[in-house]
Structure 1
Amino acid sequence: MILNLKLNNLLLFTFLFSGMFFGFSQNYQILYKVNFRPIKEKSDYKTEYMRLEILSKSKSIFYNFINEKDSINTLKGDQTPYLRFTIIQEDKKYNYYGNFNNLYFVFNEPLKVDWNISNKISDFSGYKVQEAKIELDGRKWIALFAPEIPITNGLYKFSGLPGLILKIYSEDGDYSFEMIEITKVTSKSFINSFQTSKFIQLKKKKIETYISTFLKDPATQNIKLVNSYGDEFDYNFSGKKDNSYKDMNNYIIEILGKYNNPIDKKIYLLIF
């Protein structure tokens, strides 16, 4: 039996009662509403939607839902996504796929699962949930998970809880993920169209160094910016710190100012 409840008068929250079997013979898609503060000096928040697909008992993919054209886009409007990354969890590890200045990179690390689980039980949208805490990517997180939904793969890099995470938020208030829908997969999985071959395997430390070097003096680098419509802009450093160099530095600083509070504090994005 499926019960639909209105959320913010916009979206429907689909519940699967605990009597229904959450098996892995059929996969699940879980949609999250993400509220976050892109600029740490401001109190303005932005909303995006991300989807978690459970592909098997040990494998999942998490991605920005704007990648797909669906009727829900009419609720989101025309927007440039900030959370442009894809994460695949498998066998207690995750692969993070990202892009910075046309560097399409992927790095992998073990999943962090050292949760501090509380015995405190509360209700969240009709489910009994427990609270758990963890530190990840320079932030402290609080999760509400439902033991009655035996899905241990989580959104983003979160994993290992004995139940699906329905909500998770950072203690600093900068990021919040809230599940608004869970359904069985009825369409082609996003992973079938995701082109992993264009990403270069690198160590996370090397990516952090690359980004850090770029941020110190952006206009001394060759720069390629691509917006969400596919429009491209190329800049090549002439070797001289002339007006073109100064203009580009100012432009990049302005772009970086649109999103200077990434969820992983060392993995920045260029939002053009």
Structure 2
Amino acid sequence: MAHLKFNNLLFFIFLFGGIFFGFSQNYQVLYKVNFRPKKEKADLKTEYMRLETLGKSKSIFYNFINKKDSVNSLKGDQTPYLRFTVIQGDKNYKYYGNFNDLYFVFNEPLKVDWKINNKTSDFNGYKVQEAKIELDERKWIALFAPEVPITSGPYKFSGLPGLILKVYSEDGDYSFEMIELTKYTSESYINSFQTSRFVAIKKKKIETFISNFLKDPGAQNFKLVNSYGDSFDYNFSGNRDNSYKDMNEYVKGVFEKYDNPVDNKIYLLIF
């Protein structure tokens, strides 16, 4: 598996007349994600996520924080907040996530109504164009490289005529920036990703489920599991006693660690 450095990539494209990036190949694209976990604070958190392209029209995007790789030294030891996986097809995507021990997946059409600016500029050694889109109640700006014809992008972004090198929200809360491009021939993560444990549910029902839980968590049973496998179980006794009140306060504190999800809807409980 060869790692392609930014300053050598243009040379290879020129040398092989673009054949190097034929869609018959599979690629891994590592993104550095900077985001603001708490709406009312300016502090940013960094995580790493990887996009794997699978042939012409399929990709998987997932958190890379617990995967062993050469970038481990960059990532450190931390609990991931961006615990979701997105699998893109030709026209649709599947979003895999979990909340309160419910592993869910919903399927929706890809949004591709980009507004592309034809002016070019340089970004990390690439000629890029700018494109804008509204997605998940945020306005986004993307820089993409037409010379790298990969149409899948990070998160739910797709449909641009070139690889997205950076995409960021205008509010400054989220930024995905490519830091590594790798050609690979080994098995994709999608082959080991256990989709069977996820239940297919409409996105609106997931949003309602989360909203109802957060209104009164102490009146429900729940299980919290962190990235190290540590778990915490709580069972509602049926009485709104001190234990119930304590749990409501506890979950409120857990929820406030990450109250600014990328789509403003699918919240996670981080402890």
Which TM-score band (shorter chain)?
Answer: over 0.9
Structure 2 segments unaligned to the other structure (5+ residues): none
Q: TM-score, normalised by structure 1?
A: 0.94
| Shift >2 Å, 4+ stretches | 1-5, 13-21
CA contact (8 A) 1:61 1:87 kept: yes
Q: Secondary structure at the match of 1:258?
A: helix
Q: 1:15 aligns with which of 5, 9, 12?
A: 9
Counterpart for residue 81 of structure 2 = 82
The structure where helix makes up a greater share of residues is 2
Deviations 1:153-203 (A, max 9, x none): 111100000111000000000000100110101433111110000000000
Q: Secondary structure at the match of 1:249?
A: helix
- Counterparts of 1:67 and 1:158 in 2: how far apart (Å)? 23
Q: Measure how far apart 1:264 and its partner are.
A: 0.9
Q: Secondary structure at the match of 2:252?
A: helix
Counterpart for residue 4 of structure 1 = 5
Counterpart for residue 59 of structure 1 = 58
Matching of residues 144-223 of structure 1 within 5 Å: 144-223=143-222
- Counterparts of 1:74 and 1:260 in 2: how far apart (Å)? 28
Counterpart for residue 256 of structure 2 = 257
- Counterparts of 2:201 and 2:160 in 1: how far apart (Å)? 28
- AA aligned opposite 2:125: G
Counterpart for residue 107 of structure 1 = 106
Q: Measure how far apart 1:213 and its partner are.
A: 0.4
RMSD: 1.5
Residue 239 of structure 1 pairs with residue 238 of structure 2:
yes
Counterpart for residue 72 of structure 2 = 73
Q: CA 1:156–1:136 in 2, change beyond 3 Å: closer, same or farther? A: same
In the alignment of these two chains, the number of paired residues is 265
Q: CA 1:3–1:30 in 2, change beyond 3 Å: closer, same or farther? A: closer
Q: CA 1:208–1:2 in 2, change beyond 3 Å: closer, same or farther? A: closer
- Counterparts of 1:169 and 1:93 in 2: how far apart (Å)? 22
- Counterparts of 1:267 and 1:142 in 2: how far apart (Å)? 22
Counterpart for residue 226 of structure 2 = 227
- Counterparts of 1:14 and 1:245 in 2: how far apart (Å)? 60
Counterpart for residue 10 of structure 1 = none
- Counterparts of 2:103 and 2:8 in 1: how far apart (Å)? 35
Q: Measure how far apart 1:216 and its partner are.
A: 0.7
Q: Measure how far apart 1:29 and its partner are.
A: 0.3
- AA aligned opposite 1:208: E
Q: Measure how far apart 1:2 and its partner are.
A: 7.6
Structure 1 segments unaligned to the other structure (5+ residues): 6-12
CA contact (8 A) 2:130 2:143 kept: yes
